[in-house]
């Protein structure tokens, strides 16, 4: 089976010489929910930005659905960055229209049912939304595209623990099983139940990439316990 994402020897050095990724090689198949786990500054956002075609690696190559990352792959990837893509003056309904105009694969019906599920009012101004409500909106926008690969950068950082459960349920409910989702987070215990695979990234290098079931069987540990061990 062809890999959905293939990263070969990716390194990224920022201006000033800061190394964010070092020789990262990995592949991801279709139909999976993958946790990209790491502490602050470990390189999660950098990896996602490169896969989304928003940043060039210093070395190495990345392919999505067999194509080098570029204009064609941007159409296949829906990225929710850790900073909102919407403007404060917009109403929730304007944000939906904006995405609809911008992305040919945006599904307004899916967006409407997600808004309802997320208890977002289309008439509310984006500037008046709480951090958690804004995250719900960004997630709605990202998941309402019919993409092959979704990448969600810290989608639940701002929501309270009760709402986190609801958001995870939304991800599982609205996710198209032919696609894959990569979710970056350090809130491992809250979210591990939805992962099929996890990638541990530490100081810009892959410390572990395995199926959740394998980790539980091989190590007899939850992903959260494993995370604490790897990053101790």
Ligand X SMILES: Nc1ncnc2c1ncn2[C@@H]1O[C@H](COP(=O)(O)OP(=O)(O)OP(=O)(O)O)[C@@H](O)[C@H]1O
Asked if 40 is part of the footprint of ligand X (rule: CB under 6 A), the reply reads yes
Residue choice 23, 25, 31, 41 for contact with ligand X (CB under 6 A): 41
How many residues interact with ligand X (rule CB under 6 A)?
A: 14
Determine which residue in the list 35, 43, 53, 155 makes contact with ligand X, applying CB under 6 A: 43
Smallest gap from Cβ 152 to ligand X, in A, equals 12
**Alpha-helical regions (H) of the chain:** 44-51, 71-74, 92-102, 108-117, 131-143, 161-174, 188-191, 212-219, 223-230
Q: Is 64 an interacting residue with respect to ligand X (CB under 6 A)? A: no
Q: Which is nearer to ligand X, 40 or 89 (CB)?
A: 40
Residue 44: strand, helix, or coil: helix
> Residues with Cβ < 8 Å from 112, sequence gap 6 or more?
none
Site for ligand X in 141-200 (CB under 6 A): 186
Q: Does 70 participate in binding ligand X (rule CB under 6 A)?
A: no
Compare residues 7 and 95 and give the one whose CB is closer to ligand X.
Answer: 7
Q: Is 229 helix (H, G, I), strand (E, B) or coil?
A: helix
HEC profile of 106-137: ECHHHHHHHHHHCCCCCCCEHHHCCHHHHHHH
Site for ligand X in 79-98 (CB under 6 A): 82
Query: Where does this chain bind ligand X (CB under 6 A)?
Result: 14, 16, 18, 20, 38, 40-46, 82, 186
């Amino acid at each position: 089976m062809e890999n959905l994402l293939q990263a070969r020897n990716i390194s990224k050095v920022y201006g000033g010489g800061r190394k964010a990724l070092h020789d990262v090689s990995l592949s991801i198949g279709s139909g999976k929910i993958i946790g990209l786990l790491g502490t602050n500054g470990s390189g999660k956002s950098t990896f996602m930005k490169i896969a989304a075609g928003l940043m060039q690696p210093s070395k190495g190559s990345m392919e999505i659905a067999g194509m080098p990352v570029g204009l064609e792959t941007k159409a296949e990837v829906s990225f929710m960055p850790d900073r909102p893509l919407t403007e404060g003056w917009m109403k929730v309904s304007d944000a939906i229209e904006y995405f609809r105009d911008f992305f040919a694969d945006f599904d307004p019906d899916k967006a409407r049912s997600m808004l309802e599920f997320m208890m977002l009012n289309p008439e509310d101004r984006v500037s008046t939304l709480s951090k958690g409500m804004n995250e719900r909106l960004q997630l709605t926008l990202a998941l309402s595209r019919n993409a092959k690969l979704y990448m969600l950068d810290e989608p639940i950082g701002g929501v309270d623990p009760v709402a986190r459960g609801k958001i995870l349920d939304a991800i599982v409910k609205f996710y198209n099983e032919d696609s894959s989702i990569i979710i970056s987070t350090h809130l491992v215990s809250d979210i591990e139940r939805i992962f099929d695979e996890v990638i541990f990234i530490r100081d810009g290098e892959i410390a572990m990439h395995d199926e959740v079931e394998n980790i539980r069987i091989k190590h007899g540990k939850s992903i959260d316990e494993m995370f604490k061990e790897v990053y101790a």
